[in-house]
Amino acid sequence: MKLILLGPPGAGKGTQAKLLEAEFGVPQISTGDLLRQEVAAGSEIGKAAGAVMAAGGLVPDELLLRLLARRLGGAALRLGFILDGFPRNLSQARALDSWLDARDAQIDAVLELKVDDAALVDRIAGRFACAACGAGYHETLKPPRAAGHCDRCAGTRFTRREDDRAEVVAARLAAYAAQTAPLLPYYRAQARLFSVDGMAPPDQVFQDIRMLLDAIRRPRLERADSKARLEV
């Protein structure tokens, strides 16, 4: 299964990618997480990307493609992948298409998570994560079960993303509208785009995505089955 999750900052891409990874065993590839690891490691890519990310802009394509080349190899083609945060503009989408075409592969579905702007701002403003294990929380929507203690590792230190400050969120939303939203007609024209109501609670969004993926894959499995019967 090869999926792309599309949606503005805070739409729930990371949340759904992790649920899909756990359910189907298909790895999440989050370019935001990969970039944050590079920034934390102080690598050449991290040094070039850090300031752009802190300002809410898009990191140059050339750096993204170098970063992804390390993750998209034979194993990714075999196991499939869930792209979370990539592609983010038309040139990245075209680069991904060329890479897939050259390997006779294709994206199964592009899932657009639709969420109102006001909800996006609320979700991002309240988001924080465990400093030890990275488990994600939200002040009101998903607080830890015991206040001040991570559910997963009992850690007591929490962090917030530097780019979750209100002024940076405005720049991230503007970058999405100007550079990423044009991917919607691009993938619609390829008949790969499916929209999901991202305003529903996370578990409901996940059920909706599962049903959608079943509906997309069923005709393919039936086609493969009838082809196999014809060949017997």
Pick the binder of ligand AP5 from 29, 72, 81, 88 (CB under 6 A).
88
The reply on whether position 182 binds ligand AP5 by CB under 6 A is no
Assess whether 220 carries a catalytic annotation: no
- Decide: residue 49, CB within 10 A, 0-12 exposed, 13-18 middle, 19+ buried: buried
Provide, rounded to whole angstroms, the least separation between the CB of residue 138 and ligand AP5: 4
127 among known catalytic residues: yes
Q: Give the integer Cα–Cα distance in Å for 228 and 232.
A: 6
Q: Which stretch binds ligand AP5 (CB under 6 A): 93-101, 102-110, 136-144, 224-232?
A: 136-144
Distance between CA atoms of residues 177 and 196, nearest Å: 18
Contacts of 104 (CB under 8 A, 6+ apart): none
Tokens describing residue 198: 């991202």
Whether 160 sits among the annotated catalytic residues: the reply is yes
Binding residues among 42-61 for ligand AP5 as defined by CB under 6 A: 52-53, 56-59
Q: Using the 8-state DSSP alphabet, how is residue 178 labeled?
A: I
Mask: binding to ligand AP5, 89-128, rule CB under 6 A, as x and -? ---x------------------------------xx--x-
CA distances from 96 to 78, 102, 162 (A): 16, 10, 29
Can you give the binding site for ligand AP5, defined by CB under 6 A?
A: 7, 9-15, 31-32, 35, 52-53, 56-59, 64, 85-86, 88, 92, 123-124, 127, 136, 138, 141-142, 163, 172, 198, 201-202, 205
